[in-house]
């Protein structure tokens, strides 16, 4: 209950509902501390405090971790990102070195990025700009990569969204940042879905039904939590 109350406090804070957010912060922290105070075993009390610190207040940052198991389904982009896409989000930064391929043999990273952009365009955020940092395809697919990204860029422009594309040969990290303070790091980047069994198989179009590779998702927020 305390964990859920703190999470709700962060959501209200991001929505600029500061008075309600303050009440939730106080209630959530009180609930968590009540558990600690009611525990007589000092070793357990220490573990509870450590767990609270790890989950919510690591170096003053909110941190939540999601483990996606091998072949798990139900982890489409809306499932992972929608709760962080508040109405005040207007800019998104995507760093992923492998936004390159369109062929099944190599992974559908360009199509995955397009799906991600479609989710952003649908809202509820008022998106104005997406900033993509990736690396060049080192093989014969470079021209296809550039063409694909330019086509996405033009299509987004029709929706009033600017796509800024930059390339780096040294990029390794995979992370997505929203200008409301949320940052999501996925171990495999946006390409954590398995190849569909065929073009007309269930899960080809609906990512919630597509089996996933095993990966870890870490969610951080840097502005709205306090250290206990």
Domain boundary pick from 20, 36, 57: 57
Does the pLDDT of residue 228 top 50, yes or no? no
Distance, in Å, from the CA atom of 28 to the CA atom of 225, rounded to the nearest integer, reads 12
Q: Is 205 helix (H, G, I), strand (E, B) or coil?
A: coil
CA distance 210 to 197: 10
Same-domain pairing of 149 and 207: yes
**Facing residues of 166 across strands?**
133
Claim to verify: residue 166 and residue 82 sit in the same structural domain: yes
Residues 44 and 73 reside in one and the same domain: no
CATH number, position 196: 3.30.870.30
Are 109 and 161 part of one and the same domain? yes
Assess whether 49 and 160 both reside in one domain.
Answer: no
Predicted pLDDT at 218: 92
Indicate the range of 74-88, 93-107, 154-168, 196-210 predicted with least confidence.
93-107
Both 11 and 107 in one domain: the answer is no
Residues 68 and 52 in one domain: no
Quote the pLDDT of residue 217: 95
Residue 184 lies in a domain: yes
CATH number at residue 42: 1.20.58.80
Q: pTM to 2 decimals?
A: 0.71
Instruction: Mark whether 37 and 121 lie in a shared domain.
Output: no
Give residue 226's pLDDT.
Answer: 39
- Are the C-beta atoms of 162 and 129 separated by less than 8 Å? yes
Cβ count near 9 (within 10 Å): 23
Q: How many CB atoms lie within 10 A of CB 102?
A: 16
Judge if 44 and 70 occupy the same domain. Answer: no
Domain-embedded: residue 217? yes
- Residue 202's domain comprises 64-221
The pLDDT of 207-222, averaged and rounded, is 91
The predicted pLDDT at position 84 comes to 87
Over the Cα atoms of the chain, what is R_g?
20
Same domain, 44 and 71: no
How many separate domains does the chain show?
A: 2
Q: Is the pLDDT of residue 52 over 80?
A: no
* 120 pLDDT above the threshold of 70: yes
Q: What is the pLDDT of residue 196?
A: 87
Identify the DSSP state of 209: G
Peptide bond into 124 cis (omega under 30): yes
Number of separate helices (H) and strands (E) present in the chain? 6, 7
Q: State the chain's maximal CA–CA distance in angstroms.
A: 65
Give residue 16's pLDDT: 58
Please indicate whether residue 121 or residue 30 has the higher confidence score (pLDDT): 121
Stretch among 24-28, 170-174, 178-182, 191-195 having the lowest mean pLDDT = 24-28
CA triplet 225, 123, 159: central angle to 5 degrees?
A: 130
Q: Please give the Cα distance from 170 to 165 (Å, whole number).
A: 15
Q: What is the pLDDT of residue 190?
A: 94
């Amino acid at each position: 209950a305390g964990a859920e109350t703190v999470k709700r406090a962060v959501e209200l804070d991001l929505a600029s509902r500061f008075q309600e957010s303050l009440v939730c912060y106080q209630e959530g922290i009180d609930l968590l501390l009540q558990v600690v105070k009611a525990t007589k075993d000092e070793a357990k009390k220490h573990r509870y405090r450590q767990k609270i610190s790890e989950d919510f207040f690591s170096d003053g940052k909110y941190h939540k971790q999601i483990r996606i198991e091998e072949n798990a389904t139900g982890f489409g982009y809306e499932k992972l990102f929608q709760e962080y896409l508040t109405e005040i989000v207007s800019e998104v930064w995507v760093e992923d070195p492998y936004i390159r391929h369109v062929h099944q043999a190599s992974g559908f990273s360009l199509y995955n990025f397009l799906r991600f952009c479609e989710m952003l365009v649908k809202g509820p955020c008022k998106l104005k700009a997406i900033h993509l940092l990736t690396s060049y395809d080192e093989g014969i697919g470079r021209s296809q990569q550039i063409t694909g990204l330019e086509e996405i860029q033009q299509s987004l422009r029709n929706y009033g969204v600017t796509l800024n594309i930059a390339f780096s040969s040294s990029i390794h990290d995979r992370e997505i940042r929203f200008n409301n303070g949320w940052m999501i790091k996925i171990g495999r980047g946006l390409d954590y879905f398995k190849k569909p069994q065929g073009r007309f198989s269930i899960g080809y179009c609906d990512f919630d039904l597509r089996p996933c590779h095993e990966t870890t998702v870490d969610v951080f927020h840097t502005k709205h939590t306090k250290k206990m």
